Amino acid sequence: MDFFTFLIQTLNSVQYGLLLFLVAAGLTLIFGIMGVINLAHGSFYMIGAYLAYGLAPIVTGMFGGGFITTMLFGLVVSILLGYFLEWAFYSYLYQRDHLQQVLMTYGLILVFEEVRSILVGDDVHGVQMPDWLSGSIQLNDVMTYPTYRVFISGMCLLLAVGMYIVLTRTKLGMMIRAGSVNREMTQSLGINIQFLYRVVFASGVAIAAFAGMVAAPVSSVYPGMGQGILIICFVVVVIGGIGSIKGAFVAALLIGFVDTFGKVFLPQIAGVLVYILMAVILLWKPSGLFKAGS
Amino acid sequence: MKLIKVSLLATNIILALSLGAAQAQNAPKLKVGMMLPYSGTFASLGNAIDNGFQLYVKEQGGKIGGREITYVRVDDESEPSKATDNINKLIKRDNVDVVIGTVHSGVAMAMAKVAKESGTLLIIPNAGADIITGPMCAKNIFRSSFSNSQPGYAMGEVAAKKGLKNAMTITWKYAAGDESVKGFKESFEKGGGKVTKELNLPFPNVEFQALLTEIAAAKPDVVYSFFAGAGAVKFVKDYAAAGLNKTIPLYGAGFLTDGTLDAQGDSAKGMLTSLHYADGLNTKRDNAFRLAYAKEFKLQPDVYAVQGYDAAQMLAIGLNATAGDVSKKDDFAKAVTAATIDSPRGPFKLSKAHNPIQDFYLREVQGKENKSIGIASKALADPGRGCNM
Amino acid sequence: MMTTHNQDIVLRGTNLTRRWGGLVAVNGVNIELLKGQIHAVIGTNGAGKSTLINLLSGEIELSDGRVELLGKDVTNSAQHERARLGLGKSYQRNTIFNELTVFENCRLSAQANYQQPWKFWQDGTSCKLSTEQAMFVIQKTGLEHIMHRPSGVISHGQKRQLEVAMCLATNPQVLLLDEPLAGMGADETDRMLSFLMEIRKDHAILLVEHDMDAIFKVADVITVMVNGSVIAHGTAAEVKENKDVKVAYLGEEA
Amino acid sequence: MKKYPVIFLGCLLLSFAAIPLFGGDYGIDWMTKTIIFGIFALSLELLVGRTGLVCFGQAAFFGIGAYATVIFSTDVAQPLVAFLLPISVLLAALYALFVGALSLRTKGVYFIMVTLAFAQMAYYVIHDTPIGGGTDGIYLYVKPNLPGNISLNSSLNFYLFTVFILFSVLGLLGLITRSRFGRALLGIKLNEQRMKATGYNTYFYKLAAFVISGAIAGLAGFLFAVKDGYVNPELLSWHQSGAVLIMIILGGLGHLRGALIGAFAYNLLEEFFRSEAIFGVFTKHWHLGLGIAIILCVALLPKGLIGLPSLWQNKLVGKTAETPDDNDQVSSSGSGH
């Protein structure tokens, strides 16, 4: 494995890790703060991808296209969706115990899959990359790296830094972190917990949908795509420590590397590596690497 | 108080009665169970087969062997785990006379097992799993398409003849992919070549990026691949996006470019593939078929439409020989194996194991068509190892 | 100081220490429990009383020091092993089986001594040994009248009594009671104290409590803890006079 | 309060007898499948309902039982139940021992996730490596014979055999939940800390329950493999673990018959939503109906279908103190946080 292949595989790992982080970040916040295990979080990733596919023609019709405008449009739609879902469904889940939350959100996955199948059908679709991003960078005579994947990593990193700033520098961020450590205390301090939940949930949905949108041209859009990434994201959340954003970030990158390099060196057991990693970490630190709120 | 218990018992009895009742009368119409992928990555293949089948029935005036057709359609979603349930429902609950299906080899194997046990007539319009015409062969099971190793075998011969030395293969990790690659390896290594590495990824995963990087690093003389449907579209486009089509020729089974060229655009230009059908064969039979298909469905037919069409032909031959009575399996089988199927791909006969013996064309992608530029291998029969009818 | 003759020492903790990172919750405490003696441990909130009792019961691991139960070194044995050797514990917060009846709570606790999990064909509730022990304990704690009611619906005082009854059901040599009087009314407290006095003769009791006059009424020996270490030890009278205690408790200038 | 279980067993026997007479082929097939899932649900009931351990990876033991049956029968001319059944149960129990020993060191949500992870591990081993024959699954060509070589080929024989297995498992679990071991498990579910303080080695008890439940799930896997003669990796997928969890919740936690009622109700629901007669072209989207039904059941029936009679009773007669019926009274909301 010469230097360039190693460089490319590292870039692949970082890109996959960052993508996982976006979906896992929402999951860990929602679980950490609202105490809700949301199995349906993978479906938001799928909804994001289908938004990128579905909105592209509409947006090109109205505003004359532009990849970025479609993304922004999709982001707004997913925030509204998140806001509505929290009000209509998730607010009933807070008092329920984990077992009932697991089952009700499992039912929600089935509903999302079928509504998508009714609206958009079950075929596999490609999503057009914008032209200015569809080339590839020439590393050496043979090796190239698609610029779009660099774009994905860039956008994901941008969002991660944005979240870091919001969480550590703003009042809202402080409320969120307090909520994830001790929900009752935050409530008793007079913080409008209802508003906080809605903001956290809506942004969790939006970030996961964004990840779906930005990844759609690479992963293409197919039925059931949300469920594969859901399991991996749970692994990320649990390894990182529930309710900890830093944990989710470190764990997502860790899994990005283990999975990508696993496929290269040990293709036979690549699928199993991630779970071995999780089992080992959990047995060494039964409640994840970092404390909630970090 | 005991309401829930009594209602549970009641629903049980009603369910049992209704299932029993549905079984009673046996309509004179021929019940055809179409178990094809109407969703997922093979959706376009399922629809093409269905169209081809219906085209032949329409040409016979809506009747086969003197019996009108009613269809019972089931979407198998290319999911092997649901195959047994779906075909059980078709055979035991809907009591179909014949089952047509399917595309995915894993699903087809499960169907063949149930059909072999229940004796129901099964015509497979695509799935090329070798064991269906091997250990699992049966009097009542026929195939109108190919066996997975045939296209691979043909391309292996072509690559060896061109003096290419080392090759890499890439495909989905399931029956069709493995057997196609095995066929290519067998003939390529017999011709003096060497398969350096076999890359694969789980079905229907389309994340080719890591594997394309490996191909770029290893720089083989040629890459052989087996993909179909939407997976084939994405693979060919990613292969071109990685700039590999300029330096390393991409060979494949015909499914890589059949029915997918308009989606692939010019990223498939000049690709060599082998298949038992091609565009521009320019035979009277083929032109008539293409004209009728284009008129009926407003799109160009592909190999899957041909296979659906031939499945209907085989059914007609058998039914005419048994005067429309599906239960006479021996006469049905004798008639179909004896007949020469007048197929748009060219006339062919069935081997002892009920698999077509046919020519494989070498095709090159020119514009939006897979032009035939010669015969890759003549009258290639499926070995049918382990089949004792 | 009371004359301590060795064979009466049922439970001994030497140099018991527990550190949470920088904070030292319990700092080198030595403590001895004698059969037939009520040993009270008092101290302000956060003095380390609960931590001490959890160290003795095995719920929390020791950072340093040794615990000896009936002459056997149990420093490294888990809580359930110490319980089987005769160490019963009751908790500050009610840890009872709310959904089960009062009787079944006691029977299940009594069953701890005759577990025989492999005998799956025998009905647990009709196991003679555990039912007899449960009945004995229920009569001793005067809970017969509510025996068949689910313990979730009985009064708080009764729940505290049930907690102690369940402790007794395993007929331990040593009883670690963590604030059994918490939230009890006046007459309930008296009944509990007279009960403790009665069972004192065949058990060694460690009592962690805040209720000062209750302590001084029943305790034979008192240990006073502040910030994780012992500042005074002795009979009720001695401790009352001890000036360190006064400073710690009443904040009077010496 | 003993009358609910007796009525239930009566109804069960009646419906089992009715199916072969009226059901026809498909009816027998359907009932056999439902009973097999009933046994699978019973195995999880012992863990979730009785010990409060929410295991989200039960499908791994089910799948291992099924795969063991097929793998160990390929090289034998006439496979025997007497050999295959113990092998599949043993292998499932061994994996349960391995998973239990490790995962029982974690608590609450982490336990749910660790069991899910171990199940996914088994899924990928079978999905990707040659042991399981890859994604298309493997085939049992010859169905095993019962001792006294009664063939299981005829669906009626196999149906009766499955009913026999169901009643023996029901009997065994009935004994276990009643025994001292079962009472201790109940104690652990209600308040593990108290059990530790009184002298129970709760880790051992939970591990024993985990292994027994894994073994019974392996038994259900064996039956499933023999029924269709075809096994594939999806048997171990997390959807399967999710489905069986839904069954026991639907039926009502804490009662053995709850698992059976849940399995029946889930399969009836699935059959109902998939029947063309009612939904016609819309049947393709039967998951939608099922998803909504699950959400409604969990939302409206916290105690499951078993809670229905007492729910109506409370509405009609007014709230009575929750007098538990003695042998397995537990409220489902008591599961560990």
The answer regarding whether domain D3-334 maps to CATH 1.20.58 reads no
The pLDDT score that the predictor gives to residue B243 is 80
The pLDDT score that the predictor gives to residue D94 is 96
Report field, pTM of the whole predicted structure over 0.90: no
Q: Which domain holds residue C78?
A: 1-86+172-254
Residues A146-160, mean pLDDT to the nearest whole number: 86
The pLDDT score that the predictor gives to residue B64 is 83
Interface residue C75 vs chain D (CB under 8 A): no
**Judgement on whether residues C34 and C68 belong to the same structural domain of the protein:** yes
The pLDDT score that the predictor gives to residue B21 is 43
In this predicted structure, the answer to whether residue B24 has a pLDDT above a threshold of 50 is no
Q: How many CB atoms lie within 10 A of CB D320?
A: 9
Interface residue B36 vs chain A (CB under 8 A): no
Residues C80-96, mean pLDDT to the nearest whole number: 89
The pLDDT score that the predictor gives to residue A4 is 77
The complex's ipTM works out to 0.82
Cα distance from D200 to chain B (closest Cα, Å)?
38
Q: Could B209 and A146 be called an inter-chain contact, meaning their C-beta atoms sit closer than 8 Å?
A: yes
In this predicted structure, the answer to whether residue A122 has a pLDDT above a threshold of 50 is yes
In this predicted structure, the answer to whether residue B214 has a pLDDT above a threshold of 60 is yes
In this predicted structure, the answer to whether residue C77 has a pLDDT above a threshold of 60 is yes
Q: How far apart, in whole angstroms, are the C-alpha atoms of residue C63 and residue C27?
A: 10
Q: What is the pLDDT confidence band of residue D135, given thresholds at 50, 70 and 90? A: confident
Q: Is the alpha carbon torsion for D177, D180, D183, D188 positive or negative?
A: negative
Q: What is the pLDDT confidence band of residue B301, given thresholds at 50, 70 and 90? A: confident
Q: What is the pLDDT confidence band of residue D332, given thresholds at 50, 70 and 90? A: very low
The pLDDT score that the predictor gives to residue D166 is 93
Q: Is the alpha carbon torsion for B67, B70, B72, B73 positive or negative?
A: positive
Q: Could D199 and C84 be called an inter-chain contact, meaning their C-beta atoms sit closer than 8 Å?
A: yes
Tens-place pLDDT, residues A123-136: 777 777 777 777 77
The pLDDT score that the predictor gives to residue D207 is 96
Q: Is position A236 within any domain?
A: no
Cα distance from B310 to chain D (closest Cα, Å)?
27
Tens-place pLDDT, residues D200-239: 999 999 999 999 999 999 999 999 999 888 888 888 988 8
The partner residue sitting opposite B19, judged by closest CB among D24, D233, D312, is D24
Q: What is the DSSP string of A36-48?
A: ---TTHHHHHHHH
Q: Could D137 and B175 be called an inter-chain contact, meaning their C-beta atoms sit closer than 8 Å?
A: no
The share of chain C scoring above pLDDT 90, in percent, equals 18
In this predicted structure, the answer to whether residue C172 has a pLDDT above a threshold of 60 is yes
Number of CB pairs, chain C paired with chain D, less than 8 A apart: 112
| Residue of higher predicted confidence among D45 and A283 | D45
- The domains of chain D are located at 3-334
Tens-place pLDDT, residues C130-153: 888 899 888 888 888 888 899 988
**Judgement on whether residues C153 and C178 belong to the same structural domain of the protein:** no
**Judgement on whether residues C225 and C198 belong to the same structural domain of the protein:** yes
In this predicted structure, the answer to whether residue D322 has a pLDDT above a threshold of 60 is no
- The residue of chain D with its CA nearest to that of A31 is D109
Residue C155 φ then ψ, to 5°: -75, 165
Q: How far apart, in whole angstroms, are the C-alpha atoms of residue D23 and residue D31?
A: 9
Do B and D touch, 3+ Cβ pairs within 8 Å? The answer is yes
Residue C137's alpha-carbon distances to B195, C69, C91, C190, D171, in angstroms, are 80, 23, 18, 19, 34
A275 interaction partners in chain D (CB closer than 8 Å) = 117-118, 120-121, 124
Closest by CA to C26, choosing from C46, C44, C42, is C46
Highest-confidence range of B359-363, B381-385, D172-176, D285-289, by mean pLDDT?
D172-176
The answer to whether domain B30-146+281-354 and domain B149-275 are alike in fold is: yes
In this predicted structure, the answer to whether residue D304 has a pLDDT above a threshold of 70 is yes
* 144-173 of C, contacting D, C-beta below 8 A: 150, 152-153, 166-167, 169-170
Three-state secondary structure of chain C: CCCCCHHHEEEEEEEEEEEECCEEEEEEEEEEEECCCEEEEEECCCCCHHHHHHHHHCCCCCCEEEEEECCEECCCCCHHHHHHHCEEEECCCCCCCCCCEHHHHHHHHHHHHHCCCCCCCCCHHHCHHHHHHHHHHHHHCCCHHHCCCEHHHCCHHHHHHHHHHHHHHCCCCEEEEECCCCCCCHHHHHHHHHHHHHHHHHCEEEEECCCHHHHHHHCCEEEEEECCEEEEEECHHHHHHCHHHHHHHHCCCC
Tell the CATH superfamily of the B30-146+281-354 domain.
Answer: Response regulator (3.40.50.2300)
Tens-place pLDDT, residues B61-106: 888 877 888 888 888 888 888 888 889 888 888 888 899 988 988 8
The partner residue sitting opposite B16, judged by closest CB among D22, D228, D305, is D22
Q: What is the pLDDT confidence band of residue D133, given thresholds at 50, 70 and 90? A: confident
Tell me: cis bond preceding B204? Omega within 30 of 0 counts: yes
The pLDDT score that the predictor gives to residue D336 is 30
Q: Could D175 and C121 be called an inter-chain contact, meaning their C-beta atoms sit closer than 8 Å?
A: yes
The share of chain D scoring above pLDDT 70, in percent, equals 90
Q: Could A222 and B40 be called an inter-chain contact, meaning their C-beta atoms sit closer than 8 Å?
A: yes
Q: What is the pLDDT confidence band of residue B6, given thresholds at 50, 70 and 90? A: low
Tens-place pLDDT, residues B94-138: 888 899 988 988 899 889 988 888 888 999 999 888 888 888 888
Tens-place pLDDT, residues B359-374: 888 888 888 888 888 8
Contacts of A263 (CB under 8 A, 6+ apart): A270, B210
The pLDDT score that the predictor gives to residue D219 is 95
SS3 D260: helix
- The residue of chain B with its CA nearest to that of D237 is B81
Characterize C169-189 residue by residue with b for buried, 16 or more Cβ atoms within 10 angstroms of its Cβ, and e for exposed: bbebbbbbbbbbbeebeeebb
Interface residue B218 vs chain A (CB under 8 A): no
Query: What is the rounded end-to-end Cα distance, in angstroms, of chain D?
Result: 29
Tens-place pLDDT, residues C12-61: 999 999 988 888 888 889 999 888 889 999 888 788 888 899 999 988 98
Tens-place pLDDT, residues D7-16: 777 777 777 7
Tens-place pLDDT, residues A48-84: 999 888 888 887 777 766 778 888 888 899 999 988 8
- The residue of chain D with its CA nearest to that of C54 is D197
For chain D, the average pLDDT equals 83
Could you identify the residue written with the tokens 């408790």?
C249
Q: Could B89 and D135 be called an inter-chain contact, meaning their C-beta atoms sit closer than 8 Å?
A: no
Chains contacting A (3+ CB pairs below 8 angstroms):
B, D
For chain A, the average pLDDT equals 83
Q: What is the pLDDT confidence band of residue B299, given thresholds at 50, 70 and 90? A: confident
Residues A156-177, mean pLDDT to the nearest whole number: 85
The pLDDT score that the predictor gives to residue D331 is 35
Residue B179's alpha-carbon distances to A81, B128, B135, in angstroms, are 46, 9, 15
Q: What is the pLDDT confidence band of residue D44, given thresholds at 50, 70 and 90? A: very high
Looking at the 3D structure of chain A, how many domains does it have? Answer: 1
Tokens of A67: 């990849």
The partner residue sitting opposite C99, judged by closest CB among D183, D198, D324, is D324
In this predicted structure, the answer to whether residue D266 has a pLDDT above a threshold of 60 is yes
Can you give the CATH number for the domain in which C220 is found?
A: 3.40.50.300
Looking at the 3D structure of chain C, how many domains does it have? Answer: 2
Interface residue B217 vs chain A (CB under 8 A): yes
Q: What is the pLDDT confidence band of residue D328, given thresholds at 50, 70 and 90? A: very low
Highest-confidence range of C7-21, D38-52, D76-90, D255-269, by mean pLDDT?
D38-52
In this predicted structure, the answer to whether residue D41 has a pLDDT above a threshold of 90 is yes
**Which one of D26, D32, D224, D236 would you mutate to disrupt binding with B, by most B Cβ within 10 Å of its Cβ?**
D26
The pLDDT score that the predictor gives to residue D181 is 92
Q: Could D291 and A114 be called an inter-chain contact, meaning their C-beta atoms sit closer than 8 Å?
A: yes
Q: Could C123 and D178 be called an inter-chain contact, meaning their C-beta atoms sit closer than 8 Å?
A: yes
Interface residue B207 vs chain A (CB under 8 A): yes
Interface residue C78 vs chain D (CB under 8 A): yes
* Domain B149-275 CATH class label: alpha beta
The pLDDT score that the predictor gives to residue D39 is 95
The share of chain A scoring above pLDDT 70, in percent, equals 97
Interface residue A21 vs chain D (CB under 8 A): no
The partner residue sitting opposite B19, judged by closest CB among D26, D230, D308, is D26
Residue B60 φ then ψ, to 5°: -90, 10
What DSSP designation does A94 have? Answer: T
Which positions in chain B have a beta carbon within 8 angstroms of at least one beta carbon in chain D? 1-6, 8-9, 11-13, 15-17, 19-20, 23, 39, 75, 79-81, 83-84, 88-89, 92-93, 105-106, 109-110, 113, 129, 173-175, 178, 202-203
Residues D306-333, mean pLDDT to the nearest whole number: 56
A238 interaction partners in chain D (CB closer than 8 Å) = 109-110, 113-114, 117
The partner residue sitting opposite B203, judged by closest CB among D26, D135, D261, is D135
- The residue of chain C with its CA nearest to that of D199 is C80
Residues D1-6, mean pLDDT to the nearest whole number: 65
Do C and A touch, 3+ Cβ pairs within 8 Å? The answer is no
Torsion of CA B222, B223, B224, B225, to 10 degrees: -160
Residues A21-37, mean pLDDT to the nearest whole number: 84
In this predicted structure, the answer to whether residue D320 has a pLDDT above a threshold of 70 is no
- The domains of chain B are located at 30-146+281-354, 149-275
